[in-house]
Chains A and B, each alone.
Chain A
Amino acid sequence: MIMRYWHLAKVAFQEVTVYPARVIGILGVRMMTWLSFLVLWRVIYSERELVGTYTLADMVTYYSLALIITELTRVWTVTRQFADFVHKGTLSMWLLKPVRISPALFTTFLAERACYTIFPTLLFVGAIFFKPALFQMPHHLFYFFVSLILSVLLAHLMCSLVGIAAFWLTQTNGLRNVFARLMEVLGGMIFPIELLPEGIRKNLLDFLPFQFTQFIPISIYMGKLGDRSISELLMLQLLWVGVFAVFYWLVWEKGIKKYEAVGH
């Protein structure tokens, strides 16, 4: 059974790497966006040493890790795939295959994202090795990896849920846009959410799952935990994964009964 998913992953990896120029182009653009953030912050740090509790080295580390984690949690292809399957009726073909659709999509997603994550990760590790002064050193590397795995799972579940809303809405582009924006800001992709006013963080963000997709893993890596412990954060992250897994399963079960295989 596992071999089937392994083959799916292999095919997905090959599908991406068959166009190396495309991968390089996309990564090049992402690097430019990343650099533009750094350039902007460098200008700001020319006037002061600290922004919130972040030094320039913290900020460089934050954006470098955000670049890698963003690549790993860029789940919008899955959302679009799900919506297309329902919209065009191609879900029927997946239902006939000897694999379960959700893990199959997760596997192919991971393989695809691996192509885009390898290069920034190598660059980050290399940069730490050759220019350690530019970066903040890792504080809790093992827990960071645990949190990273949970964040990928959480992002995947959240975005898949948006995708399977297509059972009821048919078109989910708009919903996907809303969700993408929320994940970008509230997840900490654009800037560390610690820089937001405390009221917003304590009264809003702490009750939402978005920060667990980006900000929390990076905070664990950098040891910027505030008044919370690692175990508390990991438990909360696990809880969100559990909540979304159950919710996903319920919605899927209900949605699949509504599916009409339009056009096929």
Chain B
Amino acid sequence: MKQSDIRYYYRYYGHLTKVKLMSLMEYRFDIIASCLGTYGYTLMILIFIDVIFRNVNTVAGWNRDEILMLFAMSQFCFYFFYTFFWSIWSQVPDAIRTGDLDKLLLKPISPLFQLVTQEFTLIEAAPSMILPFALTALVWNRLDLHPTLFQVSATAIALLAGAAISVLVQLNLALLSFWVSDTKPLQKSFAELEDLRKYPLAIYPESVRWLVVTLVPIGLVAYAPTYLLVKGWSIVWFALPLATLLFFVLMTMFIWRYGTRAYTSASS
């Protein structure tokens, strides 16, 4: 990709943000309420974790602060998806089903890029994103973590890979709209399933653990970076998210390629 291309995409993104900000100001109350909803969710999980740890000291070898770190990492992955790729959830299936993809195919910019970046929610997500950052800072202190630069880098890479896996799984489900009439319930169900990523993998029986690491890789998303940060270096938890990410990138390319061939415009 040339530098001018990057500038072009950057300007396109900037314009999207401006338009989004203007439309958001129309529904200020809704933004505040959405924010309260996400605070409510975080509070709910914190209460649940508190209820558990008032009864036990560790869950599968993970203490309260480590579980809180796991939850914060899972929140980072969610906000990555919510901030930059929310249209995968809200617009991609409809665009394919109703034929709105037509107009994106005609524009001089990658249709898949347009499709996944139509909705930019950084402004809505920003107030809520304070929570995982605050939680990480708090737990970091309490766990008295002193990671090496190598460990921090490995954690960051695994976290990015995990977040990208989450996005790509959702995108693959959304792209099934090329063949299936309504993928939203499937996407919604997968989003509900993502709640499982805030528990340590060791709680699951062996067969389920295998399932949530490979076939439905939600177990990897937050667990791998948290493990690298709080438990130390592990080649398995570093390499596995990267390998899974590669698999899902290839899968997305495959589905997009065959999906656009199957696309029959407005009547699809």
Contact = CB atoms under 8 A, between A and B. Distances in A.
Interface residues of B, number: 40
A196 B29 contact: no
B48 interface: yes
A19 B181 contact: yes
B205 A40 contact: no
A177 B199 contact: no
A178 B36 contact: yes
A25 interface: yes
Contacts of A51: 55
A162 to B, nearest CB: 10
Contacts of B31: 174
Contacts of A177: 33-34, 36-38, 40-41
Interface stretch (A95-103, A132-140, A164-172, A219-227): A164-172
A49 B130 CA distance: 38
Interface in A6-59: 19, 22, 25-26, 28-30, 32-33, 35-36, 39-40, 43-44, 47-48, 51
Interface string A152-195: 00000000000000000111111111101110110000110001
B208 interface: yes
B57 to A, nearest CB: 8
A28 B186 CA distance: 10
Given A172-B30, A174-B37, A182-B40, A195 B51 contact: yes
B192 A33 contact: yes
A109 to B, nearest CB: 16
Nearest to B40: A181
Contacts of A171: 27, 29-30
B189 interface: yes
Nearest to B183: A22
Contacts of A175: 29-30, 33
B35 interface: yes
Contacts of B60: 43
Contact of A36 (B44, B54, B182, B196): B196
Interface residues of A, number: 37
Contact of A32 (B56, B193, B199, B203): B193
| Interface residues of A, dominant DSSP | helix
Interface in B43-66: 43-44, 47-48, 51-52, 54-56, 59-60
A174 B192 contact: no
B59 A44 contact: yes
B190 interface: yes
A199 to B, nearest CB: 13
B87 to A, nearest CB: 15
A164 B200 CA distance: 41
A184 B44 contact: yes
Nearest to A172: B30
A63 B29 CA distance: 35
B192 A19 contact: no
Contacts of A173: 30, 33-34
A26 B189 contact: yes
Contacts of B181: 19
Contact of A33 (B29, B32, B43, B195): B195
A53 to B, nearest CB: 12
Contacts of B44: 181, 184-185, 190
B258 interface: no
B8 to A, nearest CB: 32
Nearest to A197: B54
Nearest to B45: A190
B247 interface: no
B12 interface: no
Given A171-B27, A173-B30, A185-B47, A25 B59 contact: no
A30 B185 CA distance: 12
B85 to A, nearest CB: 18
11 contacts: A32-B196, A36-B195, A39-B205, A43-B203, A171-B29, A173-B33, A174-B29, A174-B32, A178-B36, A184-B44, A195-B54
Given A32-B196, A191-B48, 6 more contacts: A30-B192, A33-B195, A39-B208, A178-B36, A181-B37, A185-B44
Interface of A: 19, 22, 25-26, 28-30, 32-33, 35-36, 39-40, 43-44, 47-48, 51, 169-178, 180-182, 184-185, 190-191, 195-196
Ranked 4 nearest A-B pairs via Cβ = A177-B37, A174-B33, A181-B40, A174-B34
Interface of B: 27, 29-38, 40-41, 43-44, 47-48, 51-52, 54-56, 59-60, 181-182, 185-186, 188-190, 192-193, 195-196, 199, 203-205, 208
